[in-house]
Amino acid sequence: MPRVAAIDCGTNSIRLLVADVTKRDDGTSWLRDVHREQRVVRLGQGVDATGMLNPEALERTRVALADYTAILRRKGAESVRMVATSATRDASNRDDFFDMTRSVLGVPAEVISGDEEATLSFTGAVGDLDPDDGPFLVVDVGGGSTELVLGTWDGVKATPKAAKSTDIGCVRITERCLKSDPPTIDEIAAGRELATQVLQQAFDVVPVAEAKTWIGVAGTATTMGAIALDLPQYDSEAIHLSRVSRETIAATSDRLLKLNHDERAAIPVIHPGRVDVIAGGSLIFQVLAEQLPHIQELTVSEHDILDGIALSQL
């Protein structure tokens, strides 16, 4: 039973999973969490406008990564894989990031393509689901990008059929369009138009009409799931595999877009580092739902790319 560590460094957050991996005789693999943690460091702060990683954002990421390195060593992880996604793919000074991660962690971080990011998210997301509910459409609305992947799961192997990463996420749509607090009607319209236009690139590649089950992973989806459940505090066990109707997605997004920063911050399940971008992320989900009229609800999964990164080390 090897113990592995997975680190996912995205545009908005950096996350750690330390897990024991069991490979069964039938070929299936099972992860048992030892430690799972998320910190919002906003690595992609301003990247969309400047094309560069902000020095303060790099330092926030370094501090978090140093803590994660200490944790995974203390927990006895035998191997570690760190992947970096949208913000680092786009930054002109990304070498500063990779020099830092190699120095702190001891192994190089990998820049993965958007399509590989989608595949890893799909693999991590479908393991707890009934294969008969497929084909599955897994959607990861991140900080700088949104990944869509369609595929099947036979109980042993996840098989992606089509995947596409698009350059729209909760940080990007907020920085580009939703500049007022709360955003104006015109800003919301501009955000909706941008999301619709960019996501069309995914719909042109991924045959979403074939999906029977829609799964949302990562922070925007899980936060919307927590709001829909009206939880008094964030509870990952309650959120995992919960379902959010199309109507609730629209109502939740409309509500968040009407609130100002302090009003959103008063919602106990919204992480402080996500308060200023959750409305933008919810708008992306609302646009997605409108493109999936044959699916009545979103299934929220707490398992995602982190689990896929861990399983990839077998």
CATH class of 126-305: alpha beta
- Among 87-101, 111-125, 164-178, 216-230, whose mean pLDDT is lowest? 111-125
Residues 189-203: tens digit of each pLDDT: 999 999 999 999 999
Cite the residue boundaries of each domain of the chain with CATH code 3.30.420.40.
3-114
pTM of the model: 0.79
Range scoring the smallest mean pLDDT among 49-53, 131-135, 256-260: 49-53
In the chain, residues under CATH classification 3.30.420.150 are 126-305
Strand order in the sheet with 29-40: 29-40, 13-23, 3-9, 79-84, 110-111
User: Is it the case that residue 110 has pLDDT exceeding 80?
Assistant: yes
CATH of 3-114, one of 3.10.310.30, 3.40.50.10800, 3.30.590.10, 3.30.420.40: 3.30.420.40
Choose the weakest-confidence range: 137-146, 241-250, 274-283. 137-146
- Give tens-digit pLDDT for 246-265: 999 999 999 999 999 999 99
* Residue whose token pair is 């829609």: 214
Amino acid 29: pLDDT: 67
What pLDDT, on a 0 to 100 scale, did the predictor assign at position 269? 95
Angle, CA of 237, 115 and 204, to the nearest 5°: 105
